[in-house]
Amino acid sequence: MKKIIVLFNGINAPWHITTFAINIAKQTNAEIYALFLKDERRNYSYPSDMESVETNVSAEKERDENEELKRKNAALFKTFCDDAQVACNFEKEISLKQLVDFSSDADIIVINSHDDLQRYSLKDILAELKCPVCLISVNATEIRKSILLYDGSRQALHAITAYSRLFPKLCGEKTYLVTINPKEKITEAAMMATMEKLQKKFSNLKMVSLSGNLEETLIEFLDENTENSMVVMGAYGRSAISRLFKPSLSNVILEQSRTSLFIAHN
């Protein structure tokens, strides 16, 4: 890993994604690029002029305050990187199109799993990116457990392979290869062959076969394995781009669990 992008909305720079990115950069001797999204919302002359607000704040004053907050967040992030001896770069006022361009030569993008990305949604962002994404939960700044979701598809195997390549040190941590209703899609022989192949990369790998409703069963398992866990998934039976963030398994994980999520699609 050589290039890690950390995505902020500018006025919000969560400490846990900063911590995660710096830790990974130190492990891999990678460089961090902190990108601050441009707020492309239409400005209302008096955004705080509501009956419930006693003091009206002009749009100009709000912009000035936001710019000062962005400056302080960037300075604080640089201090953290300097203290950790991690090289970092900054790009401000980045549009979604520019973010997609930046992602084409990045190894990974780190985003807060429940961030306010201003006018953008995670659906807008993840559908277009050209590299894997880590959506980091406040409960998982230091990953100690990997949960590999596998449905027998090439997309799922691609995500697992990308994860092992990008995070080799995590391959020695406790790892679960999780299937749900596997007999519907995977033969026993194919499952054992996949397990044998992955054991060469993940030294502490355990197979977990679940049954029942896909979403409910998975969330129940994740609730039991929340702390410092990373869920690894590809399309998991869907088109990775066109259906990734329609009502899908990945969306359910983000909304209903507190784990972090690694997504890689072709």
Q: Where are the beta strands (DSSP E) in the chain?
A: 3-8, 31-37, 88-94, 108-112, 133-136, 145-149, 174-180, 205-210, 229-233, 260-263
* Residues 96 and 209 reside in one and the same domain: no
d(CA 252, CA 213): 13
Does residue 57 lie within any of the structural domains? no
Confidence (pTM): 0.82
**Mean pLDDT throughout 195-204?**
94
Q: Is residue 50 part of a domain?
A: no
Same domain, 71 and 188: no
CB burial readout 207-227, b (16+ within 10 A) else e:
beeeeeebbeebbebbeebee
Q: What is the pLDDT of residue 124?
A: 64
Whether 56 is in a domain gets the answer no
pLDDT-derived band at 1 (thresholds 50, 70, 90) equals: confident
pLDDT of residue 160: 95
Looking at the predicted structure, is the pLDDT value of residue 237 above 80? no
* pLDDT > 70 in the chain, percent: 80
Domain shared by 209 and 235, yes or no: yes
Above 70 in pLDDT, residue 151?
yes
Domain C-terminal end among 102, 136, 170: 136
* pLDDT at residue 13, rounded to an integer: 67
The answer to whether residue 52 sits within a structural domain is no
Token pair listed for 97: 């199109």
Do 129 and 88 belong to one domain?
yes
194 and 108 belong to one structural domain: no
3-state helix, strand, coil in the chain (%, to 5): 40, 20, 40
The answer on 162 and 95 residing in a single domain is no
CA-based Rg of the chain, rounded to a whole angstrom? Answer: 20
CATH number of the domain enclosing 231: 3.40.50.620
**What is the tally of structural domains in the chain?**
2
Q: What number is the average pLDDT over the span 179-202?
A: 90
Residue 46 CB neighbour total at 10 angstroms? 13
Residue 17: inside a domain, yes or no? yes
Question: Could you tell me if 9 and 104 lie in one domain?
Answer: yes
Residue range 154-181, pLDDT digits in tens: 889 999 999 999 999 899 999 999 999 8
> Is residue 176 domain-shared with residue 124, that is, in the same domain?
no
Domain's final residue, options 95, 112, 136? 136
Whether 210 maps to a domain, the answer reads: yes
Tokens coding 77: 């992030």
Q: Is residue 219 part of a domain?
A: yes
| Domain around 156 | 145-263
Distance of CA 212 to the CA centre of its chain: 27
Question: What's the gap between Cα 251 and its chain centre?
Answer: 12
Could you tell me where the beta strands, DSSP code E, fall in 39-184? Answer: 88-94, 108-112, 133-136, 145-149, 174-180
pLDDT tens for 75-111 read 888 899 999 999 999 888 888 888 889 999 999 999 8
Q: What CA–CA distance (Å, rounded) separates 120 from 117?
A: 5
229 and 179 assigned to the same domain: yes
Residue 221: per-residue pLDDT: 94
Average pLDDT over residues 54-66: 67
Query: Other CB atoms closer than 10 Å to residue 4's CB: what's the count?
Result: 26
Q: Looking at beta carbons, which pairs linking 189-193 to residues 24 or more positions away fall under 8 Å?
A: 190/152, 191/152
Average pLDDT over residues 192-211: 94
Domain's final residue, options 88, 108, 136: 136
230 strand-pairing partners: 146, 260
The reply to whether 223 and 118 lie within a common domain is: no
- Residues 81, 128, single domain; the answer is yes
196 band by pLDDT with thresholds 50, 70 and 90: very high
Residues 7 and 125 both lie in one domain: yes
| In the predicted structure, residue 244 carries a pLDDT above the cut 70 | no
Tell me what the mean pLDDT of segment 200-204 comes to: 94
